[in-house]
Chain A
Amino acid sequence: MKVIPHSISPHFFLRKPLAATLYTSLHPSDPPSTTNHSFPQPTMIELIKSIHAHTDKAWSVAPHQTLPLLASASSDKTSRIYKLSESQNFPQVATLADTHKRSVRAVSFKPQLLSLESDFIDLPALASGSFDATISIWGIEEPEEMDMIEEGTYEDEEGAVVNKEVELLTSPSNEWNLMALIEGHENEVKAVAWNWSGRYLASCSRDKTVWIWETDPETLEEFECVSVLSDHDQDIKHIVFHPLHNLLASSSYDDTIRLYNQDDDDDDWSCVAILNGHQGTVWCSAFEHPRAASAVDGRTRLVSASDDSTVRVWSSTSAVEVSKSGNTLPSSIKHGSADMEWVLDLTLPPVHKFAVYSVSWSNTSGRIASVGADGQIAVYKESADGWQVESTFQGAHGVHEINCVAWCKLASGEEILSTCGDDGHVNLWRL
């Protein structure tokens, strides 16, 4: 386990896409939208923008928690960051290149830090995991104009409220630099995820382990491995933290999901539950946000997507241990390090024909979205009668597979969906 700190250097530059692979050249840059207009879609999902972000498969999209930024990861070995501003036509903010030797598989923004001193400005930062077994951490320096601006907002020419700080932090003029390159995994890193406080970064790999890295969330200067979790029997495909607790879910090629909690006494992480039921690789899972419209006090839920073409909802009424790092929710009761009881609530109505690669649970509306190898987007909504399919969209990336879906927010505050696929496109959808 080694952390190579990189002094911030302006060495990266915008790179022209390399020669398109054979696979993309077969179907050159046809926007997926145009291929679908010819036949009717029984749907309320509408394409806002299709960005040809990458010259090879796009594996992952992830939004920033509070800033209107979206990051993508691709087999073209780069990550890209876009600003989710419809009025500015979704400008590219950065290309993160010349670092990874193989596919970038996953990206994750550090969450917005809470309870900070008033003069501290929380700068956005991104973690990328690659098939080259390393994790890179990227960030910006504080924009110069930052000290000059006064707190607050102003109205632009069209009367829209603009937050000056948000404008500066999401500006394409910021230079995104490599801050650290983290080594430790034996082979392909498949996912990276931050905990709610930004103190812990988790990574998982084909080497069957989950590593927990501790850092100073304000400076991100060092990443120290504090735990290696080797409970899975196989390749680990995905990890995700609970939005408010130090509770982690890992999805695996061994067809199970495991949940880990941080012990209150010694800060150690241990496996507290195994979710059995899927009949194939579990590709992804997502927690329900306790403040989502679908949430109920005292109940924790998780949704999972699998190669068996199903999407399942699991729940637990066991209290989630409060970590001493400072999170206090009224619904959480402190108790010793005990196992959590999890049950399979239900399987969502079947939509997908092939593997479901990604699932996302909206932290506001409480809706669930899933995508997969069949090129379809499905959106589910919970009502008094249970979960129903609210809408579907076929051929959302033309004939290509869709690898990732994520709910995000436009600069205007509107909730939208982002997807990315084997066509290298990042698509944004209005519901």
Chain B
Amino acid sequence: MSDPINANPTIIDVSALPTRLSNTEEKSSRQQLLDRILALSLSSSDPELPLLTDESSEDEDDELEDTIDAQEVFDLISSISDPEHPLTLAQLAVVNLPDITVTHGNNKNELSEILIKITPTITHCSLATLIGLGIRVRLERSLPPRFRFRILIKEGTHQSENQVNKQLNDKERVAAACENDQLLSVVLQMLSTCK
């Protein structure tokens, strides 16, 4: 690549990023706390348990899907590499946890929506479309087909916001782009750092 478009981006330290991937300890301590609170409860049966047993018979393999929330989506896309810097999209604050919204359908036969707003490092970033495409490909390959994705440029962070938004959410153009070997190899390169 020739001259970088943004030569001096702001970088966030990896350890400062929100994640669920490595902090199992914190989780278990939280679980311990929850257990203790539940143990104190007067009612003998956990109010959540009947619900779980009701569904478990038919939805065993859906347990994983049920955990798909903003953090899960963030974990899927935060480690995508920037096409220009040897850094991830999270390190560059292109993707941020508060800018991810997940809206679930009532059951697994209903559609769920994921809205992601990305913040390009500079307002004339010509790579914004490529970054958005990388996020879309990553999500399409990782999540079940009932999810509908909407990837937008965060308001006021790019000079051709509407243009980029329209292109990123046109399924036909995304499909055609993914058949372009050159473009796809760049995208796969970006995704190669995903955990």
Docked pose: A275 CA to B176 CA in angstroms: 27
Per-residue contact bits, chain A 344-378, to B (CB 8 Å; 1 contact, 0 not):
00000000011100000000000000000111000
Docked pose: A324 CA to B124 CA in angstroms: 53
Partner of A36, one of B109, B166, B176: B109
Per-residue contact bits, chain A 407-429, to B (CB 8 Å; 1 contact, 0 not):
00000000000000011000000
Per-residue contact bits, chain A 278-289, to B (CB 8 Å; 1 contact, 0 not):
001100000000
Per-residue contact bits, chain B 155-192, to A (CB 8 Å; 1 contact, 0 not):
00000000000100011110110010000000000000
Q: Is the CB of A399 within 8 A of B140?
A: no
Q: Is the CB of B173 within 8 A of A399?
A: no
Distance from A36 Cβ to chain B, minimum over Cβ atoms (Å): 7
Per-residue contact bits, chain B 109-139, to A (CB 8 Å; 1 contact, 0 not):
1110000000000000000000000000000
Interface residue? B145 (CB, 8 A) = yes
Docked pose: A35 CA to B144 CA in angstroms: 15
> B140, B141, B148 — which one has the most chain A CB atoms within 10 A of its CB?
B148
Interface residue? B146 (CB, 8 A) = yes
Closest residue of B by beta carbon distance from A281: B170
Q: Is the CB of B144 within 8 A of A374?
A: no
Given contacts A36-B109, A237-B172, A374-B111, contact A103 B179 (CB under 8 A): yes
Distance from A184 Cβ to chain B, minimum over Cβ atoms (Å): 18
Interface residue? A176 (CB, 8 A) = no
| CB interface residues, B 99-116, toward A, < 8 Å | 108-111
| CB interface residues, A 390-409, toward B, < 8 Å | 395, 398-401
Q: Is the CB of A39 within 8 A of B145?
A: no
Q: Is the CB of A399 within 8 A of B145?
A: yes
Q: Is the CB of B176 within 8 A of A206?
A: yes
Q: Is the CB of B141 within 8 A of A103?
A: no
In the bound complex, residues from chain B placing their C-beta under 8 Å from that of A281 are 166, 170
Interface residue? A109 (CB, 8 A) = no
Size band of the B side of the interface? 10 to 19
Partner of B170, one of A36, A38, A253, A395: A253
Docked pose: A30 CA to B170 CA in angstroms: 26
Given contacts A253-B166, A399-B144, A399-B145, contact A375 B176 (CB under 8 A): no
Partner of A399, one of B111, B141, B166, B179: B111
Docked pose: A75 CA to B177 CA in angstroms: 13
Closest residue of A by beta carbon distance from B58: A38
Q: Is the CB of A373 within 8 A of B145?
A: no
In the bound complex, residues from chain A placing their C-beta under 8 Å from that of B172 are 105, 190, 237
> A27, A36, A188, A237 — which one has the most chain B CB atoms within 10 A of its CB?
A188
Q: Is the CB of A23 within 8 A of B145?
A: yes
Q: Is the CB of B109 within 8 A of A395?
A: yes
Distance from A240 Cβ to chain B, minimum over Cβ atoms (Å): 17
Partner of B141, one of A23, A35, A188, A422: A23
Interface residues of B (CB under 8 A from A): 108-111, 140-141, 144-146, 148, 166, 170-173, 175-176, 179
Ordered by A's residue number, 12 sampled pairs between the chains whose C-beta atoms are within 8 Å are A23-B145, A26-B144, A26-B145, A35-B109, A131-B175, A188-B176, A190-B172, A206-B173, A237-B172, A281-B170, A307-B170, A423-B145
Known: A190-B172, A355-B171, A398-B109. 19 other contacts (CB 8 A): A22-B141, A26-B145, A27-B145, A35-B109, A38-B109, A39-B109, A102-B176, A102-B179, A105-B172, A131-B176, A188-B176, A253-B166, A281-B166, A281-B170, A375-B111, A398-B145, A399-B109, A399-B144, A422-B145
